[in-house]
Structure 1
């Protein structure tokens, strides 16, 4: 473990430097809208409080980091990074069936409650989601780095916007590239951010399209791109005749709660859980990057910091474009 922590400490400053340089040359809409010291005066303890909340929750439930990362993706890809996924109510993003399995809401709510005590009406729920996901990666063993803050919370949350804006596990490479490009993310970002599957859990229903189910509920592998032994393990964990929506398996069968580069090694071994994972290693446009990340965790971590920054600045709302919610679940 000592060598691992030594690596993190050596790369921490490098990651921060790279992100600062990237931000300096970012497209003009970002400049002047978000900043790395946004809460320096108004709430200097903001990031520490979010980090402590995430660390405490993760100590009680090692699945929390994966939940927080998935929550961030589902927020930023729909209406931008504006915490619209947190709003409760009929017809909201949160009510859509694609989001009913999301978790991590209680962690965001806990951080918000503490911040409202020390810095009332100051820190947005959108910033809390972004910071919590950033901290989740570091707590799970990944790189630690700075991200800018200053996001405002959106007032619009519509379930109809969910399905057209999130990746389905059955997507082809072309479908994923098209969606990522629409968010200002490149093919390199697609491969890098797919590394989120190095942690987290998935319901059996999320990869059921890779199997055929007979009248008695027994599964048979039909996707030849999946390793047969790994497929047999999945079949054992998803019982015949059982509810595939109630059983979960680890996204990464090797190091399920550690943020590392094992996901990419798994892809090369044909152990990507989702069809959308497998196509990344099979496509000539992306295989080289998969191989690079599988061989170098340092390269993956460097790219993760850069792509994560781009993810957390998708269509952000600032100033009077949004609000600072008193409760993350309801608009003011």
Structure 2
């Protein structure tokens, strides 16, 4: 068994399978497990192999793929609208300019178009790739239903009203998640994605300010001072816009529950991270997840299923793109 694969005692396994299958059957449209069993039986294997190969040569890929699925699903639903190129598409919005992992999706798509032309959607590839990325870096192995179709609408102006910002307050995050039919608990669980990946200095610069001597000083006292000093060293005012730091200062290459343990020691990188600990509505969740990785993994599987089912297009909706970067028309 691969490292990081989750092993449940029998009663828990049965319970989880029941929850997953019940959820899949309740999804709008007809997402089903093994959707490509007859039409393209190697589809999931090809996606996983592409993610694994890409991650071996670039350790930043898992974090990029996880961010990609969030940014895609929160705007227009999980329909690969973020992949479309154009002057005024979602991808052109500044909030998406640092999103990566597109080449991995396109690489898997090219292979699938050769073997099973016009069959596997870019939307499914994105969801499967994010799922596989988590497992590859030690997270839980989960099954997700497929059958998503690709959207044909991608407008930059739809991005900001839908995605989250790292400076959001708890109420702003709750409202944004609620708009997507995601719960307060889903918010806490899916924030755990910050256990891997990196962030540009600008994404947490609001926690610091420039003093009279032209140096950064900490203004957000909820941040551990030693950790803050480390961040200021890695991200001085003179730092290039391309400079990035690890989301998780402890185990940045492993998908685990260290993110929640970091929060308990005031080492959440973003203001939106620290808010989870400060707010009475979420603090107990953070404490429970910090103390129980199995609980986090089990909960991650359920919340990830919900995330990747936001606004899905199935049946006659949308299309199956020949290239993820453009519609077929």
TM range (shorter): over 0.9
When the two structures are aligned, how many residues end up with a matched partner? 328
Stretch of structure 1 that moved more, 212-221 or 186-195: 212-221
1:117-144 residue CA offsets vs partner (Å, 9 max, x unmatched): 1111000000000000000000010000
**Judging changes above 3 Å, is the alpha-carbon distance between structure 1 residues 213 and 11 closer, same or farther for their aligned structure 2 residues?**
farther
Q: Report the secondary structure of 1:79's partner residue.
A: coil
**Judging changes above 3 Å, is the alpha-carbon distance between structure 1 residues 35 and 186 closer, same or farther for their aligned structure 2 residues?**
same
Stretch of structure 1 that moved more, 15-24 or 132-141: 15-24
Separation of aligned partners in 2, 1:112 and 1:104? 13
Q: CA deviation at 1:9?
A: 4.7
1:186-208 residue CA offsets vs partner (Å, 9 max, x unmatched): 00000000000000000000000
1:35 aligns with 2:3: no
1:277 aligns with 2:295: no
Corresponding position of 2:307: 311
Q: CA deviation at 1:292?
A: 0.6
1:161 aligns with 2:168: no
**Judging changes above 3 Å, is the alpha-carbon distance between structure 1 residues 50 and 10 closer, same or farther for their aligned structure 2 residues?**
same
Q: CA deviation at 1:242?
A: 2.8
Q: CA deviation at 1:24?
A: 3.9
**Which residue of the other structure, out of 110, 117, 128, is the alignment partner of 1:131?**
128
Corresponding position of 1:291: 287
Q: CA deviation at 1:90?
A: 0.6
**Which residue of the other structure, out of 312, 323, 330, is the alignment partner of 2:326?**
330
Separation of aligned partners in 2, 1:97 and 1:166? 12
Corresponding position of 1:200: 197
Unaligned runs of 5+ in 2: none
Corresponding position of 1:191: 188
**What root-mean-square deviation, in Å, do the aligned CA atoms of Structure 1 and Structure 2 show?**
1.9
TM-score by length of structure 2 reads: 0.95
Matches within 5 A, 1:30-69: 30=27, 33-69=30-66
Separation of aligned partners in 2, 1:105 and 1:299? 31
Unaligned runs of 5+ in 1: none
Matches within 5 A, 1:66-145: 66-145=63-142
Segments of 4+ in structure 1 off by > 3 A? 11-20, 23-29, 214-217
